[in-house]
Amino acid sequence: MARILYVSQSYSTHDRRFLELLAQLEDEAWFLPCESGGNQAEIGPVPKRIHRLPPLTQKNCAPFRWSWVRAAVRFCRLVRTLKPDLVHAGPVQTGGFFAALAGVHPFLITSWGSDVLSLAGSSFLMKSLTKFALRRADMALGDCEVVRERISALSSLSPEEIICFPWGITEGGSRLPRPPLDFRKSLDWEECKVIVSARSLEQIHGTMNFVRAMEQILHRRADIRVLMLGDGNLMGEVTEFVRSHRISDKFHFAGHVPEGRVRDYLAEADIYVSATPCDGTSISLLQAMGCGLPVVVADAGGNREWVREGENGWLYSPGDLPALVAAISTALENSALWSAMGRANINSVKARANWEQNSRQLLLAYDRLLRLATMKEAEADAEFQNR
């Protein structure tokens, strides 16, 4: 029985899925969050059989903060005590860096997309930090080809040592056979077109760009309404913006929505829009596609692997507000295409984004790393005995 340590930033829906996978194994597993995560996306408990450790810090664990330095020291002490047989850690500049600094092996590092696509290029120090972590990993995990390419450029890992698969959605991505929410009826939106955003209200997701874009759209068309799922640090700024621009009656803030209920909201919307300028494979995007929605997303990162302009959605230049407004306007003007786009998106998700199937690659990676570690240990013992 192996001892596996899983490290992540806080506790998200993605983490819960990885931990549920670990809980199916006979191995003993621990979950270590780098920070407490005040706006964590997953409010449910950690899966049974997984030992949850206290977070390394109660504060923001962003690189180069004092809390990050203290967290690194605590991590090194913890692994000396725990003595894991395998460490699976991310994001690259926090959990991944801590594992690299501690010199643990075997070590599987996980990129969460923006850590290598955006953050790694934000400064010379951040790029150096990223390279340090990636070049000390035995294998790496990413969720799209653009992440794989970036990891390859920043590390010394071979193609076989970089695992890449969409983390996907459960139940094949199709609509769930449960009673509808009927939120449109309760809000008197039955005759309106509903645009939905399902990203947390954080700066990294371009939240204010989305709200500003919708303000322009709403002043052009009286039949549009906006549904925002999620919570975050920008909630106050967003609600003040819509109040001051007198469009509060055209917005509905659902707050944090459990993963299983997100699809129910999406099923009653018309178009999915994300203002996130840099993404890997977005689970929110896959959920929207799986519910048969046409989509509007930035022409960057993993989005290009899922969205083809005019075929199943629309793309716009990342961070460009006028381009975002234009893309949403084009989508609204082409409602005749929505049905065909929706069918194409459902088929794409069913074929490529099934979590139950894709996640098997992670289990194979665990097995490979543990076998290699056993072989190296046996070789070291044999060399010692031959001395």
Q: What is the pLDDT of residue 172?
A: 41
Structure tokens at 62: 């962003």
- Answer whether residue 381 shows pLDDT above 70: no
Q: What is the pLDDT of residue 181?
A: 80
> pLDDT tens-digit profile of 285-300?
999 999 999 999 999 9
CB neighbour burial string for 362-380, b if at least 16 within 10 angstroms, e if fewer: beebbebbbeebeeeeeee
In this predicted structure, which of 185-194, 195-204, 256-265, 294-303 has the lowest mean pLDDT?
A: 256-265
The total number of residues shown for the chain amounts to 387
E strands in the chain: 3-8, 28-33, 50-52, 86-89, 107-110, 139-142, 162-164, 193-197, 224-229, 251-255, 271-273, 295-298, 313-316
Q: Is 111 exposed, middle or buried (0-12, 13-18, 19+ CB in 10 A)?
A: buried
Q: Is 194 helix (H, G, I), strand (E, B) or coil?
A: strand
- Pick the closest to residue 229 from 45, 41, 46, 43 (CA basis): 41
For residues 204 and 359, give the distance between their C-alpha atoms in angstroms, rounded to a whole number.
Answer: 27
For residues 100 and 104, give the distance between their C-alpha atoms in angstroms, rounded to a whole number.
Answer: 7
Provide the pLDDT confidence category of residue 179 given band limits of 50, 70 and 90.
Answer: low
Please report, as a single letter, which amino acid is at residue 325. V
Owner of token pair 């794409």: 348
Instruction: Read off the pLDDT of each residue in 80-103 and give the average, rounded to a whole number.
Output: 97
- Answer whether residue 54 shows pLDDT above 80: yes
Q: What is the pLDDT of residue 38?
A: 54
Q: What is the pLDDT of residue 43?
A: 61
Q: Is 384 helix (H, G, I), strand (E, B) or coil?
A: helix
> pLDDT tens-digit profile of 242-286?
999 999 999 999 998 887 789 899 999 999 999 999 889 999 999
To the nearest whole number, what is the mean pLDDT of the chain?
Answer: 92
> pLDDT tens-digit profile of 110-144?
999 999 999 999 999 999 999 999 999 999 999 99
Provide the pLDDT confidence category of residue 173 given band limits of 50, 70 and 90.
Answer: very low
Q: What is the pLDDT of residue 81?
A: 97
Q: What is the pLDDT of residue 2?
A: 93
The C-alpha angle 38, 201, 347, rounded to 5 degrees, equals: 110
184 near 264, Cβ under 8 Å?
Answer: no
Provide the pLDDT confidence category of residue 171 given band limits of 50, 70 and 90.
Answer: low
Percent of the residues in the chain that have a pLDDT greater than 90, as a whole number: 82
For residues 206 and 185, give the distance between their C-alpha atoms in angstroms, rounded to a whole number.
Answer: 29
For residues 6 and 84, give the distance between their C-alpha atoms in angstroms, rounded to a whole number.
Answer: 10
Q: What is the pLDDT of residue 41?
A: 56
For residue 198, the number of C-alpha atoms closer than 13 Å in the C-beta half-sphere is 28
For residues 234 and 188, give the distance between their C-alpha atoms in angstroms, rounded to a whole number.
Answer: 27
Instruction: Read off the pLDDT of each residue in 33-58 and give the average, rounded to a whole number.
Output: 83
Q: What is the pLDDT of residue 13?
A: 84
For residues 257 and 244, give the distance between their C-alpha atoms in angstroms, rounded to a whole number.
Answer: 26
User: What is the bridge-based pairing of β-strands 224-229 and 271-273?
Assistant: unpaired
- Answer whether residue 93 shows pLDDT above 80: yes
- All structural domains of the chain, each given as residue ranges with its CATH number in brackets, are 3-165+359-386 (3.40.50.2000), 173-352 (3.40.50.2000)
> pLDDT tens-digit profile of 332-343?
999 999 999 999
Instruction: Read off the pLDDT of each residue in 361-372 and give the average, rounded to a whole number.
Output: 92
Q: Report how far apart, in Å, the C-alpha atoms of 261 and of each of 16, 255, 347, 367, 371 are.
A: 16, 12, 21, 34, 40
Provide the pLDDT confidence category of residue 376 given band limits of 50, 70 and 90.
Answer: confident
For residues 334 and 347, give the distance between their C-alpha atoms in angstroms, rounded to a whole number.
Answer: 21
Q: What is the pLDDT of residue 379?
A: 59
Q: Which residues pair with 200 in a beta bridge?
A: none
